Each structure stands twice: as structure tokens, then as C-alpha cells.
A = this chain, B = another copy of it.
Amino acid sequence: MRLSCSDFVFFIIIFIISCHAWALKPHLLGRHRFKSLFHHRSVSYKTFYFDQQIDHFGFLENGTFKQRYLLNAQRWQKNGPILFYTGNEGDITWFCNNTGFMWDVAEELRAMLVFAEHRYYGESMPFGDKSYSNAKYLNYLTSEQALADFAVLIKALKESIPGAQTSPVIAIGGSYGGMLAAWLRMKYPSAVVGALAASAPIWQFIVPCGGFYQVVTRDFTNGGVNCSSNIRKSWAAIDGITATGEGLQWLSQEFGLCSSLKSQEDVYGFKAWLQETWVNLAMVDYPYEANFLQPLPRWPVEVVCTHLKFDTGVSDKQLLHGISQAVKVYYNYTGEALCLNTSQTATGNLGILGWFYQACTEMVMPMCTDGINDMFEPQPWDFQALSDECYAQFGVRPRKDWAEIVFGGRNISAHSNIIFSNGDLDPWMSGGVTKSISESLVAIMIDEGAHHLDLRYNNNYDPDSVIKTRALEVQYFRKWIKEAGRTL
């Protein structure tokens, strides 16, 4: 079976969602019932633009662009540390407003905070509005270029800010940003004394393709009795029901879809949308009410699973009614949604296209399902289909071995001073470093932790695990800062 175009888009989008979800601007989420969630200290920063080389690895293209970065030095004392967020595939203000951990520890560490935007996202466009217009302009969208941006910016900041020359810099990032934080320490250890790579699946390129969906499945298995097995059964039920026009109509009404299902292609898209919903729920299964892609109750997977307890003998329609109720926990917790839109699965910013391009070049993360070890329809990994799709869309083909070669694959023991934190609920832990490699390449597993829970603001409902994780992370920061002082 070949991977279809829609599958491909699906595989891409989940990572975008995973990274963007937690970064939605609070003012977009201003529904009354969630107001109480935002206990945040005020986040204030100055916005700067740095003249950054478009091409660090060639000299023919000698142009520069304005790389945006945000800076807060209110709690910093001279020679004190700089916490440097290595921006991922989105608007850096989102990350800045939502990486509460950095704001929470700034005072304690007397740290300067810097949030550096990743090229080709937010306002940091190498060729302005044309940046995404063709393959030639997109050619400088790589993680290596982004890492070089960070290294160059760090040198410039240290040289230009009085008192920063000897400041130790610590890279921090989550998800793809966490991968960049780890890689910055690996590739440019002279720039940063250490890195916190939160929920960073740096091994997603090389692990077996099924792990990701197995974690999703485990979350639902643990979420409630029969929960994952009912989801597994639902795919055949959907196929059965939608074999007739009447069934298509029934399903559309049952789910309250904005646009009725009319063809088998629509059904295919509907199932992909459902699959993505389960993935998203697993990623954002936080212990308190939170608002990412959607406003959600605390422990949303458990809430979802209360609708999927059926034992054997349930009819397809009863089963799909349960699925419908479950999905509405995700899409309509507020009760305000007029209908469910299966075509809208992620925020509409440039990040999607950018990450799509990155997945079409370096960020080749094989994913597959088998329906046995996971609750999804079987779908093998098909690199050739991905490659052809990429060539059709961008005129480029992915290089499947490159990420492993350039970032070392599993053989990273020569590096030092990196914390890899992962939540055991987070599907991305399947590609993460979950066991310590050495005394200074430390893995921290967060019990009951979803996607980079540790990078979020303190919350009264935080489990002990994440409180301890954050304390340990700060302890490592202090160690690195102290060691840097010795070598200066």
C-alpha cells in the first residue's frame, strides 16, 4: 500500500500541531471559563532584528535578512546567564508568551531571556513575502542554517551587550525547538554551555516507525476500560456505515460536521481527521484545564474515554455515537462550536508549509501503524511516496540518511551538558532520548507528563514529577553556569 497525499500531509501536520499547540496567544483564548487558567506573570520583552546571513554555508548569496529576537533583561545581572530559546517552526512571540518555565526561573537565576526566531517563520523571512514562492528561495530553510543563525546571534549579543561577554548561555527549546537546543550544544558547544531539550525527538529519524502511534494507543488504553479497543473497532464501523449514502448522511449528522461526507475520499479524510484528534489529545493530556488547539478539561484523555467504555456486542451506530461524543470533548468542550470542521486541523500560519518543506528535505521521520500494536488502520511507511510528493510540491527530494549523519544518530556520547526531558504520555517520547547516556547527557522521564509539560508555567495542579523535573533542570543549569565560570 502506498502512502497517499493526504496521509503525507497528515504525518506532517501533527508535528506542527505538537509544536504550535502550546503556543497559541492567550488573547486568542479569552473565553471566560478559561480565564482562571492564566496565572502568568506579565511577559514583557523588547523586539529586535538582527542582520543575519541568508546563506552561512556558501558565499555567492551574500545577502542578509532581519532575524527577529525578543529580549528581557529585567532580572538579569551583569555576567549572569542568558537563557536562549531556540525558536521552532512558528512565530517566536507565541513561544515567548508560552514558555512559562523560562519566565518562572529568570529571577532565581538572575538570567537574561532571549527568544530567537527560526528563519522562514514568523517575521524572519529571508526573502520577505517571496520566501515561500519557489524552491530557490526556500533553499536556505534548513536546521543547519537555523543553528548557524543562533550561533552567530549569540556571539553578536555577547559582544554587543555590556556585561554579557562572559555570560554563560543555555539553550532551551521544546519539540523541534528542543531538537535545535540539543543540536546547538552538539554543533556549537562554544556558543552554549548546555541545553535543555524538552520533548525533543532527536531519534525520530531512526527509531522503528510504529512507536509514535503505540504511545498514543497506550494513553487511550490507560485512559479507560475498552477505550483503545473501541477506537480500533471504529474504523471498520465507519467503513460499514459509510458504504451507503444514507450512512454517510447519518455519520455527518451524528458528528455535526460542517460539511457532509459525500464520497469515499471524504470518508478517508474524516478518518485522518479522527486519527489526528486522538494524537493531539495524547500530546496535550495535561493535568489541568488548558487551552491549546482547543480548550480542554483536565486529563482530557480520561474524559474522552468515559464515552468509549462499550463492551462487546455494541452496534456500529452505538459505537460511532460514542466516538462522536468523545471527539466533541476535544472540539466542543465549551459547547460553543456550531459544527465540526474536518478540514481545519491546524493554525493557518506559515509554519505548516515551512515544516512541510523541512520534512521534505532533512526532517524525515518515518511513521507507520499496523492495527495490532496500535489502535489505527494499518499503514506502512512509504519513503518513495513521500519523496514523489515532495518533488511534486517543492521540486526537492528528502535525504533519508542525512539527519542521522549530520546529528550523529544514536552515537552522541561524545557530547555533553544536554538534558533530554520527556513525558511518558507524549507520543514524541518514542523518538526521544529516554535513558541517560552519560553523566552529562541526562534523560529525565516525567511521569504523567504530556508534550513538554516542563516548559510550561508552574501550575497548582502540576504533578510532583514535573515539579521535581524543573528543579533538577535548574540544578543542572547552575552546575553548567558554575563550570563555565571556572573556565573563563
Contacts and interface: CB of A to CB of B under 8 A. Distances in A.
Contacts of A401: 152, 155
Contact of A59 (B53, B57, B396): B396
Given A53-B399, A413-B487, A487-B413, A408 B59 contact: no
Contacts of A47: none
Contacts of A71: none
- A155, A401, A411: residue with the most chain B Cβ atoms closer than 10 Å: A411
Interface stretch (A117-125, A185-193, A258-266, A309-317): A185-193
A218 interface: no
A60 B414 contact: no
Interface residues of A, number: 45
B417 A414 contact: yes
A190 B405 CA distance: 8
Interface in A398-436: 399, 401-402, 405-406, 408-409, 411-417
A414 B375 CA distance: 44
Contacts of A58: 57-58, 139-140, 142
Contact of A188 (B152, B408, B416): B408
Given A151-B406, A188-B408, A190-B408, A60 B487 contact: no
A414 B139 contact: no
A371 interface: no
A57 B142 contact: yes
A399 B148 CA distance: 14
A139 B190 contact: no
7 contacts: A53-B399, A56-B402, A57-B142, A58-B139, A59-B139, A59-B360, A60-B138
8 smallest beta-carbon distances between A and B, as pairs: A189-B414, A190-B408, A190-B411, A59-B396, A57-B57, A60-B139, A59-B361, A58-B139
